Chains A and B, each alone.
Chain A
């Protein structure tokens, strides 16, 4: 991780008055992620299914973008393309100044994936590895020696409040703690971009609030570019700089909404009348398709 010393994750709920360091851009030229005319069509017996119609999107370095929409709107497909896990039917994807998918490419350019962290819906920790070893997985076989890997994993665990659980097996931890470990694992190799696929969808509302606060803190501390997928409107408004609203059948971008509440946002921001207005407006837009 970066050499800056930051408040640890355990303090995350405190001190909303701490001055937020400006998220620093890492890519000198332009956008962290550029999506041009990307679409995805699946072949099916009953005819082609348009998971995503041609879509353009640019994400600035250090920006927190949330893809919001109901199931079937293509938001997860889009995110998985950014991770090279799905291949677009048309269009191109660039990460920084490297091309991930050229138009018509059948496979991702692997060198463009280098600086990427991914948090899945499930923690996907390996049950045979202790938490510390799970966190250091992305570093293995890449260069850092064992000792350095241990140190970096321990540092990351501290940031997410798991420093006392390095020697535990995943099944000994609660769902929220497992997801914290997954976040630490996604960040341990210090990627530029963090992709998150409904990371808190399986958690209860209170744990979810805590995780949102933690994530905001981590993002402010590290200046990562974050793209997060969710179907929770209030989570989207709480976390995002910009919400990309998608609608289903066929999946497409319906609206883009800038959110400019000052950071760090306390949980009480949801009591703000403007917060309520934005949530209501988004809900109305989503509701048009129900």
Chain B
């Protein structure tokens, strides 16, 4: 009897664990709790270590700085500038990355020949080429858009290649047997089959795009959140620098959430979209 109830209890534990994993509301509780814990640890550190507020400002100082910044149009102008260059660069990256990915995915030889050069564009430290980019595109928004695009296009392209290559040979045979014309194969097989990969690449790409835009702003020009951070640092306003970083993070979250929602909406049938049901 004891053994049986032991098994039953273990089953119950597993069931509870799975329910917890599947529930949607769990994040609405854990996230604020963990955030508060983090803020507490931060505050504790500033008090205990006696570190200068110039080096690590206490959380309430950052909160005040953030509040103060939010009352000034400067922040919104900078945020809009960064948002705009991120989105434009990202869109270019998606068009170029998906387009190139399809071509290279179909033409194995071309992909093989160009692979070293494509990898080279990625292993070049991006920050190091920013001066060049400034030289070519100037201190205006073009250089930021270019940086965002360059940094994010690779992951989009790689995932597109992977998606094209991952089409099930059985499905290809099927399309041949039913004598589907080429456009039908593209619409009914190539696109839907590679879409989960492409969308994953796009989801990763948007995060890279923000990094690219901010790095561009950081190293040249007077606009955007990156340039704002430089100004804060120069003025030794560490609290406002922290606040600016928080704004950047929030913007990243929003963009990621939008792209992620598009992905889930576009491929509801895919395992990654959750909702696993089975008979």
Instruction: Point out residues on A near B: beta carbons under 8 Å.
Output: 83-85, 110, 113-114, 116, 118, 120, 122, 124, 126-129, 137-138, 140-141, 169, 171-174, 177, 189
Interface membership of B22, Cβ < 8 A: no
Total B residues in contact with A, Cβ cutoff 8 Å: 24
| A127, A129, A138, A172, most chain B CB atoms within 10 A | A127
Given A138-B178, A171-B278, A124 contacting B168 (CB threshold 8 A): yes
- CB contact between B181 and one of A113, A128, A141 (< 8 Å): that residue: A141
The reply to whether A174 and B179 form a contact with Cβ atoms under 8 Å apart is no
Q: DSSP majority for the B interface?
A: helix
Once the chains bind, are B177 and A124 in contact (CB under 8 Å)? no
Contact B170 A172 (CB under 8 A): no
In the bound complex, do residue B176 and residue A120 qualify as a contact, i.e. CB atoms below 8 Å apart?
A: no
Q: A118-B174, A128-B270 are in contact. List 17 more A-B contacts (CB 8 A).
A: A83-B173, A84-B177, A85-B173, A85-B176, A113-B177, A116-B177, A118-B177, A120-B174, A122-B170, A126-B171, A126-B192, A127-B269, A129-B269, A138-B178, A140-B180, A171-B269, A172-B277
B249 contacts A by Cβ under 8 Å: no
Interchain CA distance A96-B184 in the complex, whole Å: 27
Chain B residues, CB < 8 A from A122: 170
B179 near A140 with CB under 8 A, answer no
The 7 A-B residue pairs with the shortest CB-CB distance, nearest first, are: A124-B170, A138-B178, A118-B177, A128-B269, A128-B192, A141-B184, A83-B177
In the assembled complex, the Cα of A174 lies from the Cα of B278 at a distance in Å of 8
Task: Considering the complex, give the chain A residue whose CB is closest to the CB of B277.
Answer: A172
For chain B, residues 155 to 173, give those with C-beta under 8 angstroms from any C-beta of chain A.
168, 170-171, 173
Whether B184 lies near A140 (C-beta < 8 A) is: yes
By the criterion CB–CB under 8 Å, are B278 and A140 in contact?
no
Specify which chain B residues have a CB less than 8 angstroms from the CB of A127 in the assembled complex.
Answer: 269-270
Do B170 and A126 touch (CB < 8 A)?
Answer: no
Most A C-beta atoms less than 10 A away, residue of B178, B193, B279: B178
What are 8 A-B pairs with beta-carbon distances under 8 A? A113-B177, A118-B174, A126-B171, A126-B189, A126-B192, A138-B178, A172-B277, A174-B279
Task: Name the residue on A nearest B181 (C-beta).
Answer: A141
Residue of A nearest to B276 (CB): A171
Taking CB atoms, residues of chain A closer than 8 Å to B267 are: 128
A195 smallest CB distance to B (angstroms): 8
Binding site for A on B (CB under 8 A): 168, 170-171, 173-174, 176-181, 184, 188-189, 192-193, 195, 267, 269-271, 277-279
Does A141 contact B180, Cβ atoms closer than 8 Å? yes
In the bound complex, do residue A114 and residue B178 qualify as a contact, i.e. CB atoms below 8 Å apart? no
Q: Please pick, from B168, B192, B279, the residue contacting A172 in the complex, using a CB distance under 8 A.
A: B279
Task: Give CA–CA (A84, B184) in the complex, Å.
Answer: 19
| Distance, CA A84 to CA B177, complexed state (A) | 7
With A120-B173, A122-B170, A124-B171: A172-B178 Cβ-Cβ less than 8 Å: no
Residues in chain A near residue B184, CB distance under 8 A: 140-141
Cα of A128 to Cα of B192 in the assembled complex, Å? 7
A122: min CB distance to chain B, Å: 6
CA distance A128 to B189 in the complex (A): 10
CA distance A71 to B271 in the complex (A): 34
In the bound complex, what is the Cα–Cα distance between A84 and B173 (angstroms)?
10
Nearest CB in chain B to that of A85: its residue: B173
Closest-CB distance, B187 to chain A (whole angstroms):
9
- Which residues from chain B contact A171 at a C-beta distance below 8 Å? 269, 271, 278
User: How far is the CB of A175 from the nearest CB of chain B, in Å?
Assistant: 11
Chain A residues, Cβ within 8 Å of B192: 126, 128
Q: Verify B178–A137 contact, CB threshold 8 A.
A: yes
B179 with A110: CB separation less than 8 A: yes
Question: A83 CA to B174 CA in the complex, in Å?
Answer: 10
Closest to A113 in B: B179
CB distance from A126 to the nearest CB of B (A): 7
Tell me the smallest distance from the CB of B272 to a CB of chain A, in Å. 12
Q: List chain B residues, Cβ under 8 A from A83.
A: 173, 176-177
Q: Which residues of A contact B168 (CB under 8 A)?
A: 124
Residue of A nearest to B177 (CB): A118
CB distance from A119 to the nearest CB of B (A): 10
A118 and chain B: residue at smallest CB distance = B177
Question: Closest approach, in angstroms, between the C-beta of B196 and any C-beta of chain A?
Answer: 9
CA distance A177 to B177 in the complex (A): 22
Closest to A165 in B: B279
A116 to B176, CA, bound (A): 11
In the bound complex, CA of A285 to CA of B249 (Å): 72
Residues of B within 8 A of A174 (CB): 279
Name the distance in Å between A98's Cβ and chain B's nearest Cβ. Answer: 14
Q: How far is the CB of B163 from chain A (nearest CB, A)?
A: 13
- Distance of A122 Cα from B180 Cα, bound (Å): 20
- Cβ-defined contact, A169 with B269, below 8 A: yes
Set of chain A residues within 8 Å of B195, measured between Cβ atoms? 128
Residues in chain B near residue A128, CB distance under 8 A: 192-193, 195, 267, 269-270
